[in-house]
């Protein structure tokens, strides 16, 4: 353990946003919380946004791998094959759009702020008394504000209302927002698909990975 830093946090009894919906006021509270994080004076953080998509090769690899799946393959692999084949057209339309936006954004200068990195539903915890917490802080990064705000694309009004308590003139860049939405989709699909197609985990975790993959499709509007 000599080479690792360990963070200890108080235990919080609650449910994630995957389990319960957030109210309007709670979404407003999330927006204000993100505004406070983005208002941090930290500007010399080692991890900065470069508009890369590290799991892009794994995304393509997953589609190559499903061609090898047969009736003798595991039920999990067959289920992934059905999902990826069913939504292949939609996924590659977004993948191509991602590459165009990536090229465009790399040529622009954008303001970077300290971001949580992934305030997704699974990382938003609601305590028994309704208090909101952000958990899982291992994706901290200096990035455009849209890196965090993109997770609320379908619930943006109350989030922005809270955010503008900290930044009254805040505006959303549509290109950056879309880039992050698609990047998260492609990254999550690649991650879960590869973990199922090349399993190294217990069956219970593989089953959970499959459910998480289905949730990503639903959350990002891929499911028709």
179-224 pLDDT, tens digit per residue, is: 999 999 999 999 999 999 999 999 999 999 999 999 999 988 888 6
Output the pLDDT for position 55. 96
> For residue 208, is it within any domain?
yes
Does residue 121 form part of some domain?
yes
Within-domain flag for 7: no
Q: Find the Cα–Cα–Cα–Cα dihedral 66, 70, 72, 75, rounded to 10°.
A: 50
The β-bridge partners of 14 are 127
Q: Give yes or no for residue 135 having a pLDDT over 70.
A: yes
Structure tokens at 52: 């890369």
Assigned domain for 3 exists: no
Q: How far apart are CA 181 and CA 170, in angstroms?
A: 19
What pLDDT does residue 6 have? Answer: 79
| pLDDT value of position 91 | 97
- Using the predicted structure, report yes or no on whether residue 1 has a pLDDT greater than 70: no
- Residue 7: the pLDDT is 76
Whole-structure pTM value: 0.89
Give the model confidence (pLDDT) of 87-98 as tens digits.
999 999 999 999
In a domain, residue 224? The reply is: no
In a domain, 6, yes or no: no
Q: In terms of residue numbers, what domain contains 137?
A: 14-219
pLDDT confidence tier of residue 44, bands split at 50, 70 and 90: confident
pLDDT of residue 4: 79
Q: Tell whether 9 is covered by a domain.
A: no
pLDDT over 80 (residue 71) = yes
**What percent of the chain lies above the pLDDT cut of 70?**
99
CATH of the domain at 132: 1.10.510.10
Q: Report yes or no on 125 lying in a domain.
A: yes
> Is 80 exceeded by the pLDDT of residue 148?
yes
Listing DSSP states for 185-217 in one string gives: HHHHHHHHHHHHHS--S-HHHHHHHHHHHHHHH
What is the number of structural domains in the chain?
1
pLDDT, residue 155, reads: 92
Contact predicate 124/134, CB 8 Å: yes
Token pair listed for 20: 């319960």
Determine the pLDDT at residue 8.
80
Mean pLDDT to the nearest integer, 51-74: 96
């Amino acid at each position: 353990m000599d080479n690792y830093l360990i963070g200890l946090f108080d235990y919080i009894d609650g449910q994630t946003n995957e389990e319960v919906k957030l109210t309007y006021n709670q979404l407003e509270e999330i927006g204000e919380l993100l505004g406070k994080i983005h208002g941090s004076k930290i500007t010399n953080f080692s991890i900065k946004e470069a508009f890369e998509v590290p799991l892009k090769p794994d995304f393509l690899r997953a589609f190559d791998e499903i061609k090898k799946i047969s009736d003798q393959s595991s039920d999990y692999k067959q289920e992934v094959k059905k999902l990826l084949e069913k939504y292949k057209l939609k996924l590659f339309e977004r993948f191509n759009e991602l590459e165009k936006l990536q090229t465009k954004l790399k040529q622009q200068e954008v303001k970077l702020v300290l971001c949580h990195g992934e305030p997704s539903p699974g990382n938003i915890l609601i305590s028994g008394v309704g208090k909101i917490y952000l958990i899982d802080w291992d994706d901290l990064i200096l990035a455009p504000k849209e890196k965090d705000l993109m997770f609320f694309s379908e619930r943006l009004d109350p989030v922005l209302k809270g955010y503008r308590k900290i930044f009254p003139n805040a505006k959303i860049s549509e290109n950056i927002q879309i880039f992050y939405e698609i990047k998260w989709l492609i990254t999550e699909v690649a991650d879960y698909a590869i973990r199922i197609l090349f399993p190294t985990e217990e069956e219970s975790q593989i089953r959970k990975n499959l459910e998480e993959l289905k949730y990503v499709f639903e959350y990002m509007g891929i499911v028709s």
